Structure 1
Amino acid sequence: MIDETDRRILRLLQKEGRISLSELAERVGLGATATSDRLRRLQRDGFVLGFGARLNPALLGRGLLVFIEVRLERTTPDVFESFAQAVRRAPEVLECHMVAGGFDYLLKTRVEDMAAYRRFLAEVLLALPGVRETHTFAVMEEVKATAELPI
């Protein structure tokens, strides 16, 4: 279990991942050693999965965000596993979620533009094992994009 001080640490880390240990300790009202111990425990227990920079996709040639519904030919364990292994190797796919409902997977992808998406669709996505049908949703405007969890 985590307490309110742990929650404050997690909230601060989500917003300011590069915060120094001394600043973090000051903002949560603990000493540096106690804060360091809590942070190590939160990492060890899996609450903190890692640290990274948020990058500008447009400046890196990945300006087009596309969501794709994927329906498989069959929903058997071997098809699910083959698809999952193959999609993990596709760098254009940022997220892949198996979902309940009218299709099997929802993919979040980033490519340069619509021409790059057409190439990705033809050369990568439709070549993945078991893919029967896809539906594409190109994002016209990102209204909200965050990875911060409410804590």
Structure 2
Amino acid sequence: MAEDSMAEDPEDATAIPPPRPLDSIDQDILQMLQTDGRASIRSVAERVHVSRANAYARINRLIEDGVIRGFGARVNHERAGQGTSAYITLKIVQNSWRTVREQLRRLPGASHIALVGGDYDVLLLVHTPDNRALREVVLTRLQAIPEVLSTRTLLVFEEEDLEPQG
């Protein structure tokens, strides 16, 4: 299933309802779907001991509430031709987060963007075919963004996605 493009801007309160507490069944459903996003409603219902209608309703509510943002595949970037990965830290002009975020979203190979506290303002994860492409991203694309004051590149030697305990 394709990832939904729900608004995630904290100032856009109309996009999703306020969070409500998740019970143990909701938590079990989330854990199961994180382990296998292709699980059938029937298998989810059996695993968490509810009816199929109840499982279906709960999953839909989790989607509508913005708890589940979408469904996707976990990709081995190296096998997909994106053998170079790096975390890039950025210092940006104060109050330019929204502008910078929009430009980073369009950056080829960007897979995670976070506004962080500490010595840097933004943490960006990129996957590129090779070091030459990474160099292009950092020196040509990122440093051309007027609000980016500085960058630091941390080359990833090896990575592993942590799988939920199932």
**Residue in structure 1 matched with residue 76 of structure 2 by the alignment:** 56
Question: Structure 2 CA distance, aligned partners of 1:41 and 1:81?
Answer: 29
Question: Structure 2 CA distance, aligned partners of 1:81 and 1:2?
Answer: 30
2:35/2:163 contact within 8 Å kept: no
**Residue in structure 1 matched with residue 142 of structure 2 by the alignment:** 125
**Residue in structure 1 matched with residue 155 of structure 2 by the alignment:** 138
- 1:84-105 deviation per Cα after TM superposition (whole angstroms, max 9, x unaligned): 2211211222112122222221
Shift of 1:115: 1.4
Rg: which structure is higher?
1
Question: Structure 1 CA distance, aligned partners of 2:54 and 2:126?
Answer: 41
**Residue in structure 1 matched with residue 37 of structure 2 by the alignment:** 17
Shift of 1:136: 0.8
Secondary structure of 2:76's counterpart equals coil
Within the candidate set 16, 26, 33, 2:46 is matched to 26
Secondary structure of 1:84's counterpart equals helix
Shift of 1:17: 0.6
Q: What RMSD over aligned residues (CA atoms) do the two structures have, in Å? A: 1.8
**Residue in structure 2 matched with residue 68 of structure 1 by the alignment:** 88
Question: Structure 2 CA distance, aligned partners of 1:11 and 1:104?
Answer: 31
Instruction: Choose 53-62 or 22-31, whichever is displaced more.
Output: 53-62
Counterpart amino acid of residue 97 in structure 2: F
Shift of 1:147: 7.1
When normalised by structure 1's length, the TM-score is 0.86
Within the candidate set 6, 9, 25, 1:5 is matched to 25
Distance change >3 Å, CA 81–CA 30, structure 1 → 2: closer
Q: Higher helix share goes to which structure?
A: 1
**Residue in structure 1 matched with residue 61 of structure 2 by the alignment:** 41
Shift of 1:35: 1.2
Shift of 1:80: 3.1
Provide the aligned length of Structure 1 versus Structure 2.
Answer: 145
Question: Structure 2 CA distance, aligned partners of 1:71 and 1:8?
Answer: 39
- Gaps of at least 5 residues in structure 2 are 1-20
**Residue in structure 2 matched with residue 89 of structure 1 by the alignment:** 106
Question: Structure 2 CA distance, aligned partners of 1:69 and 1:62?
Answer: 20
Question: Structure 2 CA distance, aligned partners of 1:82 and 1:5?
Answer: 39
